[in-house]
Amino acid sequence: MDLEIQARIKELSEKHGAENLVIILGGAEAEASGLACETVTNGDPTFAGPLAGVQLGLLCYHIFEPEVKDLIDPVVYDEQVSMMEMVLDVEEIIAEVSQYRNQYCQFL
């Protein structure tokens, strides 16, 4: 995950409280999405950014996951996201992201 984005997430969680933050991912690939989820829950596994060793334990979902998808107006979802459901490996992405969420999220 981009170092600047890590810094912004850290700052936002300090300002609003980690329990009040939800991270929505839009990554196109399972491994990268999983890595992003790991970063905002268990800390930056590459130890390169501001979240290295920082376990924020944030709630984190990919936009494809039903917990998030069901909250979105279906017309908007169809316009903005549905095409990509045909393109990307939805199941693999969800499996990867939920694995890290279930393991490290502190607000489930």
Partner 1 sequence: MTLPVVKGASYILVQAPSTLFQYGSTQTQTRQKDPNAEYLKQIPGHLRSFEACVGYAPNQAYIGNLLPDELGNIAEPWYDNPVADASRFGAQGEIMPEDEFLGLVKMYDSFDLVKLTQEFTELVKAKLKIHPIFKDKDLKALSEGVEFNEIDELVNKHVADGLYFEHKLIGCVKQAHDTDPNLNAHVMLENSMTKASGILALLNLGRLGYDITDIEYVIEASEEACGDVNQRGGGNFAKAMAEGAGCVNASGCDVRSFCAAPAHALINAASLVKAGVYQKVAVIAGGAVAKLGMNGKDHIAKGVPLLEDCLGAFAILITANDGESPIIRTDLVGRHTVGTGSSPQAVITSLVTDPLDRGNLKITDIDRYSVEMQNPEITKPAGAGNVPEANYKMIAALGVKRGDLERAEIMNFVEKHGMPGYAPTQGHIPSGVPFIGPALKLMKAGQIQRAMIIGKGSLFLGRMTNLFDGTSFVMERNAGIIEEAAAGQDDTALKTMVADAMRQLAEILLKED
The piece of 9-17, 49-57, 84-92, 95-103 that touches partner 1 (CB under 8 A) is: 84-92
Query: Cα(37)–Cα(41) distance, rounded to whole angstroms?
Result: 6
Compute the least distance from the CB of residue 75 to partner 1, in Å: 13
DSSP 41: H
User: With respect to partner 1, which residue has the nearer C-beta, 82 or 103?
Assistant: 82
- Alpha-carbon distance of 65 to 59, in angstroms, equals 13
Stretch that binds partner 1, among 14-22, 37-45, 77-85, 98-106 (CB under 8 A): 77-85
Minimum Å gap between C-beta 86 and partner 1 is 4
DSSP state of 55: -
Size of the site for partner 1 (CB under 8 A): 14
User: Which of 7, 22, 24, 28 contacts partner 1 by CB under 8 A?
Assistant: 28
Q: What angle do CA 54, 60, 66 make, to 5 degrees?
A: 170
Pairwise CA distance, residues 39 & 73, whole Å: 29
C-alpha 37: how far from chain center: 5
Question: What is the contact mask toward partner 1 in residues 88 to 107, using x (rule: CB under 8 A)?
Answer: x-------------------
